[in-house]
């Protein structure tokens, strides 16, 4: 029987954003749905990522900056990215949640979902932006490699391009980064000609999609572009930046992906994981 782990810690709700669209209700709504549907998942409580683990991606000066702002009661990293008193601790736990998800699928679980916040895929090595503080998925990829896995596939289906993840691994052929995203849209990156550099050309695959793209367009991108590339790459683990804002009902995005469409896209990713590695983390 397939076993799925769900990673969650209540400190994620203490990252206060004061009316911002990235708010704690994003998680509580999911938790309520899991309970009401009686979904068969095992809850795992993570530990915070260590400074050393986060420093595999982020510079020490940036970590000190985030910590200092939070110790002084909060503030802004940029116009979109709010810090409150508990945000530094929540961000370390969010990265820790991604690490726990990796550990779960390297253990007894077939898949894992890290229900964490603050999010991470816009976070650059020395800069937070786009609601993101630490790049959780990038920290998780480095952790997977530290545990002996050589090749990591990161799939990003958020409506926005994950510019932070893109940049972290832009010259690393051991990580294949694949992103579908609305274009043009925030943060303005993710053109099709952004493919990697310094010997890693072809290991960054950006698929910019026009506003209004729905289930058929997304599924075509995943079946006709991701699937053959991933099968050639043969990852040891699949990590997913599983932003849900490409959904047709999201008020800030412009895409038309339905819940069934998300399921179909996830099915392609699961097909890759089953064929190549059997390890899938979202």
Average pLDDT over residues 170-178: 98
Q: Number of folded domains in the chain? A: 1
Number of neighbouring beta carbons within 10 Å of residue 207: 20
Report how far residue 120's alpha carbon sits from residue 95's, in angstroms, rounded to the nearest whole number: 9
User: Closest Cα to residue 243, out of 114, 156, 169, 113?
Assistant: 156
- In the DSSP assignment, the letter for residue 117 is S
Q: Containing domain of residue 239, as a range? A: 4-281
Tell me the per-residue pLDDT of 10-45, one tens digit each, with 9 for 90 and over.
Answer: 999 999 998 889 999 999 999 999 999 999 889 999
Taking CA 123 as the corner, what is the angle to CA 118 and CA 127, rounded to the nearest 5 degrees?
Answer: 115
Tell me the per-residue pLDDT of 55-79, one tens digit each, with 9 for 90 and over.
Answer: 999 999 999 999 999 999 999 999 9
Question: How far is the CA of 245 from the CAs of 122, 172, 242, 263, in angstroms?
Answer: 14, 28, 9, 14
pLDDT of res. 1? 66
Q: What is the CATH number of the domain that holds 266?
A: 3.40.800.20
Q: How confident is the model at residue 277 (pLDDT cuts 50, 70, 90)?
A: confident
User: Closest Cα to residue 164, out of 99, 77, 263?
Assistant: 77
In this prediction the pTM is 0.97
Number of neighbouring beta carbons within 10 Å of residue 61: 8
Mean predicted lDDT score pLDDT of the chain: 96
pLDDT of res. 279? 59
pLDDT of res. 40? 87
Q: How confident is the model at residue 249 (pLDDT cuts 50, 70, 90)?
A: very high
Give me the sign of the Cα torsion angle 88, 115, 53, 175: negative
Average pLDDT over residues 194-217: 98
Through-space distance between the first and last CA atoms of the chain, rounded to whole angstroms:
19
Question: How far is the CA of 121 from the CAs of 107, 130, 243, 250, in angstroms?
Answer: 25, 9, 10, 18
Token reading at 84: 């409150």
Choose, from 15, 121, 122, 160, the residue flagged as catalytic. 122
pLDDT at 156 over 80: yes
pLDDT of res. 19? 86
Q: How confident is the model at residue 2 (pLDDT cuts 50, 70, 90)?
A: confident
Active site residue 122: yes
Report how far residue 162's alpha carbon sits from residue 185's, in angstroms, rounded to the nearest whole number: 12
Tell me the per-residue pLDDT of 255-275, one tens digit each, with 9 for 90 and over.
Answer: 999 999 999 999 999 999 999
Average pLDDT over residues 91-99: 98
Q: How confident is the model at residue 281 (pLDDT cuts 50, 70, 90)?
A: low
Report how far residue 253's alpha carbon sits from residue 161's, in angstroms, rounded to the nearest whole number: 12
């Amino acid at each position: 029987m397939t076993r799925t782990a769900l990673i969650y810690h209540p400190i994620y709700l203490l990252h206060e954003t004061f009316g911002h669209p990235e708010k704690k209700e994003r998680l509580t709504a999911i938790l309520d749905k899991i309970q009401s549907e009686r979904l068969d998942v095992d809850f795992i409580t993570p530990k915070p990522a260590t400074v050393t683990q986060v420093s595999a991606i982020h510079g020490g000066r940036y970590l000190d900056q985030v910590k200092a702002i939070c110790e002084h009661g909060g503030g802004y990293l940029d116009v979109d990215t709010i810090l409150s008193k508990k945000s530094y601790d929540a961000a370390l736990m969010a990265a820790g949640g991604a690490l726990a998800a990796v550990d779960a699928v390297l253990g007894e679980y077939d898949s894992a979902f890290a229900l964490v916040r603050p999010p991470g895929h816009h976070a650059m090595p020395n800069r937070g932006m786009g609601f993101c503080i630490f790049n959780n998925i990038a920290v998780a990829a480095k952790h997977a490699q530290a545990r002996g896995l050589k090749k990591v596939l990161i799939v990003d289906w958020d409506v926005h391009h994950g510019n932070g993840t893109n940049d972290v691994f832009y010259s690393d052929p051991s990580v294949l980064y694949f992103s579908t995203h609305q274009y043009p849209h925030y943060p303005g990156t993710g053109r099709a000609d952004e493919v990697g550099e310094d010997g890693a050309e072809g290991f960054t695959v950006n698929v910019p999609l026009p506003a209004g793209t729905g289930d058929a367009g997304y599924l075509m991108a995943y079946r006709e572009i991701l699937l053959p590339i991933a099968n050639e790459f043969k990852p040891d683990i699949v990590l997913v930046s599983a932003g849900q804002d490409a959904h047709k009902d999201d008020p800030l995005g412009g895409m038309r992906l339905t819940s069934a469409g998300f399921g179909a896209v996830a099915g392609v990713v699961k097909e890759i994981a089953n064929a190549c590695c059997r390890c899938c983390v979202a």
